[in-house]
Structure formats: C-alpha cells, structure tokens
C-alpha cells in the first residue's frame, strides 16, 4: 500500500509521515513538495529513524509519481497567518487546489484523496468538483474537532478523554456542531449526564481553541494533534473494519444534504467512504448541522 503526501515539507505532512512510518502499516510513503530539499531531508531522517523497527520505505517524488498511490493526503497550503478563522485561507489555498486538480486529472487513476488544508469542507468539495472523481474517494480531515471536544469534556469533568465517546459534525470551523446526545463513557451505553452550565463551559473551551492558538502567532499549525489523528484515520481505513469516524464527506441526500462537503459520521474502508451513517439527532443538533451547511454552501458559491 502506497501513501502519497502533498505538502511533505510542512509540519503536518512531515508529522503524519513520521507517525505512519512508526506504525509500519504501509509499504511506502512518497513525499512531494515545492520545497524539494526540505521534503528530501524529511525522507532521509524519517527512514533512518525507523530503519530498525519499520519496513516502510520513504521516498521523494513529484506530483506525477503519486498516481500509483492508494491514498493521497493533501496538506499543501499557503503559509500560516495570524487568522481569526480558517476561512481566511480559502482564496490562497483555492489557487493551489486548482493547480492540483489539473495534475490529478492527468493521472488517470482514482486514489482516495484526503484533504487536510483549510477550510477543509470547501476545499474537499471543490477538489471533487474540479477532478470529477467519485464522491466516495474524497475525505476531508475534521476529526480534530471531536478530539478537542473530548479534551474539553475531560478538562471540565475530570473524566479521562480516553474513556469518552464523542462526536462533532458540521463545519470544521466556527459552525462545528457537537452532538451531546452521542457523548458517553465507552463503558456505558447511556448518554453522559451533564448540566447545561457544564455544556456551555465545554463548548466555550472547545470553540475558543482556534482563536487562542492563533493569538500566539507561532507561525505553525497544530501539527502534532493533526498528525497523530490523521495516522489514526488512515490506519482505520487500512484495517478495513468499517469503523465509523467523523470526517468531512459529500452527502447525496443523507441528512437531507447535498452539493457540499460537511462533517458527518462515516464508515471508512480502503474504498473510501463506504457509508455516511445517519444518527437520530436532537432538534437542536440538527439545527446546528443545517446552520453549518448554509455557511459552507455560501463559501462554496
């Protein structure tokens, strides 16, 4: 199994390559980037780091070399800026994605394409429309929202995040929609009983994270969290277990939605999105999902 990473010189691309190589779950990882020397340095360093423990081969390639890959992860984007919203990356990253789409159409192959560049929902849908490949091949990376909800719940309640099942749907951005009706301890089937005040504190903590992080003006994205989480997502697909994960997908009538990419629970396999899973949402949760859909569609148009 081959994994290609576009943007392999950057923090997110390199971190994901490092995590995947450590797990020894793919045969080869091909890094490509306009900063060729940096990507090549990552190839040399990561391959040596795991030469004793992993059989994964690391190599540098150009875009045309990725046509033989089973999965292609896109982390390429404009440099990090002090942004109040992920939407501020749209115009610059859309230029990059138009160029990528033209190259991908020339491959004549149909790998699974994972978009991790922001704004994820809009770019994932745009790539789908520009390439004309099947919708099940497109996955937008938004699992971090669910991870951060678990983190916020843990901070407020003291329950270890490892013991929680949680789900965030909607936009990978300000209109994310936590599904509290799906929040529970892994050891129990019932919903975790939290007061409205505690829920408000959890929401405030989870939703203010991006602003607080951006305020640091560190010039870097959340590479560690995203790299670890992307590794988990790719490993899940490789196992072929059909595990349900939150990601940005392109619905065709599920939840009454179409003509966009939006965060929903999906069953993932090596075919890509095998199924978008429809849950019984509360009235408020469904309203939050539809609000997110309206915003994403406005950005697409």
Sign of the CA dihedral with 263 first, then 269, 272, and 274 last: negative
- CATH architecture classification, 143-300: Alpha-Beta Complex (3.90)
Topology at the third CATH level for domain 2-140:
Rossmann fold (3.40.50)
Task: Write the pLDDT tens digit of every residue in 104-127.
Answer: 999 999 999 999 998 999 999 999
Beta strands in 53-134 (DSSP E): 57-60, 71-74, 112-115
| C-alpha closest to that of 301 among 125, 150, 134, 137 | 125
| pLDDT (tens digit per residue) in 215-236 | 888 777 788 999 999 999 999 9
**First CA to last CA distance, the chain:** 36
> In terms of pTM, does the model score above 0.85?
yes
Please, where in the chain does CATH 3.90.110.10 lie? Answer: 143-300
From residue 44, how far is each of 12, 20, 108, 151, 174 by CA, in Å?
17, 15, 30, 34, 39
More confident residue, 281 or 211: 281
Two structure tokens written together for 283: 């009235």
Enumerate the CATH 3.40.50.720 domain ranges in the chain, comma separated: 2-140
Alpha-carbon distances, residue 205 vs 145, 168, 198, 221 (angstroms) = 12, 14, 11, 19
Q: Which of 17-26, 48-57, 181-190, 251-260 has the lowest mean pLDDT?
A: 181-190
**pLDDT of 42 strictly over 80:** yes
For 185, the 3-state DSSP assignment is strand
Q: Are 273 and 249 in contact (CB under 8 A)?
A: yes
């Amino acid at each position: 199994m081959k994994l290609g990473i576009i943007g392999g010189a950057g923090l997110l691309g390199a971190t994901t390559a490092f995590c995947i190589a450590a797990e020894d779950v793919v045969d080869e990882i091909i890094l490509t980037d306009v900063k060729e020397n940096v990507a090549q340095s990552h190839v040399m360093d990561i391959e040596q780091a795991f030469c004793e423990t992993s059989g994964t081969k690391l190599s540098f390639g150009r875009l045309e070399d990725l046509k033989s890959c089973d999965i292609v992860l896109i982390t390429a984007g404009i440099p990090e800026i002090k942004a109040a919203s992920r939407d501020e990356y749209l115009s610059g990253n859309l230029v990059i994605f138009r160029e990528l789409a033209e190259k991908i159409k020339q491959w004549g192959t149909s790998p699974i394409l994972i978009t991790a560049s922001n704004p994820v929902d809009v770019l994932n849908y745009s790539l789908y429309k520009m390439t004309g490949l099947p919708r099940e091949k497109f996955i937008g990376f938004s699992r971090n929202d669910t991870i951060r909800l678990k983190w916020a719940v843990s901070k407020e309640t003291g329950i270890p995040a490892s013991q929680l099942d949680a789900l965030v749907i909607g936009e990978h951005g300000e209109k994310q929609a936590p599904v509290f009706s799906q929040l529970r301890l892994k050891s129990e089937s019932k919903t975790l009983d939290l007061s409205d005040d505690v829920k408000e504190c959890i929401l405030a903590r989870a939703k203010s994270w991006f602003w607080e992080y951006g305020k640091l003006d560190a010039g870097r994205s959340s590479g560690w969290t995203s790299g670890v989480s992307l590794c988990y997502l790719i490993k899940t697909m490789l196992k072929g277990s059909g595990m349900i994960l939150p990601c940005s997908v392109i619905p065709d009538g599920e939840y009454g939605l179409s003509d966009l990419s939006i965060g929903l629970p999906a069953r993932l396999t090596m075919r890509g999105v095998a199924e978008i899973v429809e849950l019984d949402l509360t009235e408020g949760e469904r309203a939050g999902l539809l609000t997110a859909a309206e915003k994403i569609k406005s950005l697409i148009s």
